[in-house]
Amino acid sequence: MTRVYILLMGALATVIFALMVLVILPKNMLSGVQPPAELKPLTAQELRGRQVYIENGCIYCHTQQVRDTNFTQDVAKGMGNRPSVPADYVYDQPHLLGTMRTGPDLFNVGSRLPDKKWHLLHLYQPRSLVPWSIMPAFPFLFEHKDTPAPDDVVIETGQAEAGAIVATEDAKALVAYLLALKHDYAMPNIQKEAADE
C-alpha cells in the first residue's frame, strides 16, 4: 500500500508543478500586458470571419506568429517587420498561434496582401493564383447565381461560365478577418510598460 501511496503523491505533485509552471505563472506574468494603441479589437464581421477560420481548419496549416530573428528567418522572408510579442494577442481568445506552417504565416497577411478580391479568388480557387499551392479550395463559401444582385460580391474566376460566383457572408467575413491581421506597427516596449506599473 505504501508504494501506491508514494506513486499517487508523486503523480499529484507532478500535476500540481506542471499546473503552476505552465498555467498559473504565465497567466500572472502576462495579465498586465496592455494592447498597443495601434491594435484594435475585431469588428463583429471580423469576429465571424475568425470563427469561419477556426471552423474550416485554417489553424492547422497556418501560424500567426513571427518568430524571433535570433532563431529564424521569418522577418527576412517578409512575414513581418518584427517578431510578435504577447501584446499583439491581447484581444485574441483563444489565441491562434498555430504550430505547423504548411501554409504561409498570416500574422501580417492584411499588410502583405491587402486586396480583398485576391483573397476571395484564393479561397475559391487557390491554384489559379498560386499554382504550387496545396491549400484546398473552399467553393462552399461561394454560391452560383444566374443574375447577381447589385450588392453581391462577384469574383472573377477567369472561366467563361453562365451567371456569376458570389461570395457568401461567411466568405466576406473570413476575408475581413484576414485583412484585419495587420501587425505592422512598431514593437511595443514591454520592459518600459512593465516598469511603469
Q: How far apart are CA 18 and CA 71, in angstroms?
A: 26
Grouping H, G, I as helix, E, B as strand and the rest as coil, residue 32 is coil
pTM value is 0.81
Looking at domain 32-188, what is its CATH homologous superfamily?
A: Cytochrome c-like domain (1.10.760.10)
CB 119 within 8 A of CB 178: yes
- Report pLDDT digits (tens) over 117-165: 999 999 999 998 999 999 999 999 999 888 887 777 877 766 656 778 8
Tell me the per-residue pLDDT of 68-81, one tens digit each, with 9 for 90 and over.
888 888 888 888 88
C-alpha 79/C-alpha 104 separation (Å) is 8
Place of cell 447589385: 150
